[in-house]
C-alpha cells in the first residue's frame, strides 16, 4: 500500500513538474481587470494577461486558488499529453518537426514530457518491483543489506532451524487437538497455542525471505565468490587505463547484485545527462546541413529519450501482468531501431537509405553514450 502511495506521488509530482516546465513561465488563470500595472514586471496592462511576462492581471490570494492551480496544472498537462503520446509513438518525426516549426501550444514540450516519463518510470518500478522480488518489502531487505555475508548466512541457518522447530511443534499440537476433539474433550487452549505457532512461523518465513534476498543482493552466488578468488589469484584483471575507474569497477563487480540494486535506485536522478551526451553524436550525422542546428538535435534527442523511457514503462507493466518473455525481448530488440528510423525520416525529411544508415549509427552511438553514462553513474554510487 505504501509503495502504491509513493508511486502515485511520483506520477503526480512528475505531472506538476512537467506542467511547470510546459507553461513557459506563464502564470495560472485569473480574472483580469485590464488596467493598471503588472504586479510582476510593472508593465502597463493591456488585457487579461501581461503582454510582457504573461502573468495574469488579477491574482487570487485564497486557499482555493492554490487548489485551482494544482488541478489546472494536472488536467491541462493531461489534455496535452493525450495529443502528444499518439504522435510520439506513431509519427515521432512529424511531432519533432512540428514542434520545431512552432506548433508548441497543442503539444507537451520535450523537457516536460521527459521529466514526466522519468517520474512515471520510477513510479512503475516502485509498483511492479525491480531487482527486489515483489513478495519481499524494501524494509525487510534493507534491514540486512549492510551486514557481512557470513553473518547473513549464519542468521539464515538459525531462522531456518527455528522455522523447522516451530512447524514441528505446531504439527504436534494440531494432532493433539484432533485427539481431544475425537474424545469430546476441551481443545481450545491447545488450538490457540497451535494458531499462535502458525502466526509465528509465518513471521519467520518472512524473515527468511528477506535474508535470502539480502544474500542475493550482497553477493551470495558462485559468480561473486569465483570473481573474488580470481582477483586474489591474479587470474582476472581489469585495465581501463584509469586506476580509479579500475578500482570502482572491481568494487561493483564484487557485489554485482547490490550494484544493480543501487543503480536502479539512483540512475533515474541522472538520466538528464543522456541528453548532452547524445547531442554530439546526432550533430555528427548532420553537421554539413545548415537548415538544422543544435536546438533541433536537442528536441530530437529529448523526444526520443522520452519515447524510450515510456517504452520501458509499458514493457515493465506488460511483464508484470504475465506477457511472455520472448514477446518482451522482441519489443526490446525491434522497438528502438524502428522508432529511431521513423523519427529520423520525419524530423529531418531524409530518404529511406539515409535514415537506415543513420539509425545504425545512432544505435552504435547509443552504446557509447550508455557506456559514458554508466561510467558517470559508477563514479557516483561505487
Question: Could you tell me if residue 24 is inside a domain?
Answer: no
Give the cell for residue 78.
493531461
8 Å CB contact between 50 and 60: no
What distance in Å separates the CA atoms of residue 40 and residue 56, rounded to the nearest whole number? 9
273, 377: one domain: yes
Question: Could you tell me if residue 286 is inside a domain?
Answer: yes
46, 177: one domain: no
Listed as ranges, residues in the chain with pLDDT below 70 are: 1-35, 60-61, 63-78, 129-149, 213-242, 252-257, 260, 264-267, 382
115, 249: one domain: yes
Give the cell for residue 198.
502458525
> Which pLDDT does position 157 carry in this prediction?
86
210, 348: one domain: no
> Which pLDDT does position 307 carry in this prediction?
94
286, 319: one domain: yes
364, 248: one domain: yes
Question: Residue 196 sits in which domain range?
Answer: 149-219
8 Å CB contact between 120 and 14: yes
Split into its structural domains, the chain has a count of 3
Global confidence as pTM:
0.60
Question: Could you tell me if residue 256 is inside a domain?
Answer: yes
Torsion of CA 329, 332, 334, 339, to 10 degrees: 160
Query: 93-120 burial by CB neighbour count: b if 16+ within 10 A, else e?
Result: bbbbbbbbeeeeeebbbbbbbbbbbbbb
Question: Could you tell me if residue 304 is inside a domain?
Answer: yes
Q: What percent of the chain has pLDDT over 90?
A: 22
112, 81: one domain: yes
Give the cell for residue 360.
545504425
119, 193: one domain: no
303, 160: one domain: no
259, 215: one domain: no
Crossing angle for the helix pair 294-320 and 110-128, nearest 10 degrees?
20
Question: Could you tell me if residue 250 is inside a domain?
Answer: yes
Question: Could you tell me if residue 301 is inside a domain?
Answer: yes
User: Number of C-alpha atoms within 13 angstroms, CB side, residue 246?
Assistant: 9
214, 245: one domain: no
Amino acid at each position: 500500500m505504501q509503495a502504491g502511495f509513493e508511486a502515485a506521488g511520483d506520477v503526480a509530482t512528475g505531472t506538476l513538474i512537467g506542467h511547470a516546465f510546459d507553461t513557459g513561465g506563464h502564470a495560472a488563470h485569473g480574472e483580469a481587470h485590464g488596467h493598471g500595472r503588472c504586479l510582476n514586471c510593472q508593465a502597463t496592462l493591456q488585457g487579461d494577461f501581461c503582454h510582457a511576462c504573461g502573468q495574469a492581471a488579477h491574482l487570487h490570494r485564497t486557499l482555493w486558488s492554490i487548489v485551482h492551480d494544482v488541478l489546472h496544472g494536472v488536467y491541462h498537462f493531461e489534455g496535452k499529453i493525450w495529443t502528444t503520446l499518439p504522435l510520439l509513438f506513431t509519427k515521432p518525426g512529424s511531432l519533432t518537426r512540428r514542434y520545431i516549426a512552432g506548433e508548441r501550444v497543442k503539444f507537451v514540450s520535450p523537457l516536460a514530457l521527459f521529466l514526466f516519463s522519468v517520474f512515471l518510470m520510477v513510479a512503475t518500478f516502485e509498483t511492479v518491483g525491480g531487482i527486489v522480488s515483489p513478495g519481499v518489502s524494501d524494509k525487510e531487505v534493507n534491514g540486512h543489506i549492510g551486514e557481512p555475508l557470513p553473518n547473513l548466512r549464519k542468521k539464515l541457518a538459525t531462522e531456518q532451524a527455528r522455522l523447522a522447530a516451530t512447524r514441528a511443534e505446531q504439527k504436534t499440537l494440531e494432532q493433539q487437538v484432533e485427539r481431544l476433539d475425537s474424545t469430546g474433550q476441551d481443545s481450545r487452549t491447545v488450538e490457540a497455542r497451535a494458531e499462535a505457532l502458525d502466526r509465528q512461523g509465518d513471521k519467520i518465513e518472512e524473515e527468511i525471505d528477506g535474508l535470502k534476498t539480502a544474500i542475493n543482493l550482497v553477493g551470495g552466488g558462485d559468480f561473486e565468490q569465483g570473481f573474488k578468488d580470481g582477483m586474489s589469484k591474479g587470474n582476472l584483471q581489469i585495465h581501463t587505463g584509469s586506476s580509479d575507474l579500475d578500482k570502482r569497477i572491481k568494487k561493483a563487480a564484487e557485489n554485482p547484485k547490490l550494484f544493480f540494486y543501487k543503480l536502479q535506485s539512483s540512475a533515474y536522478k541522472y538520466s538528464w545527462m543522456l541528453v548532452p551526451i547524445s547531442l554530439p553524436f546526432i550533430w555528427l550525422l548532420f553537421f554539413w546541413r545548415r537548415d538544422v542546428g543544435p536546438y533541433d538535435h536537442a528536441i530530437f534527442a529529448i523526444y526520443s529519450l522520452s519515447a524510450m523511457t515510456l517504452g520501458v514503462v509499458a514493457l515493465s507493466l506488460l511483464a508484470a501482468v504475465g506477457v511472455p518473455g520472448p514477446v518482451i525481448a522482441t519489443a526490446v530488440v525491434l522497438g528502438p531501431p524502428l522508432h529511431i528510423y521513423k523519427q529520423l525520416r520525419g524530423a529531418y525529411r531524409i530518404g529511406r537509405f539515409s535514415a537506415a544508415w543513420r539509425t545504425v549509427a545512432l544505435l552504435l552511438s547509443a552504446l557509447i553514450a550508455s557506456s559514458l553514462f554508466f561510467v558517470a553513474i559508477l563514479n557516483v554510487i561505487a
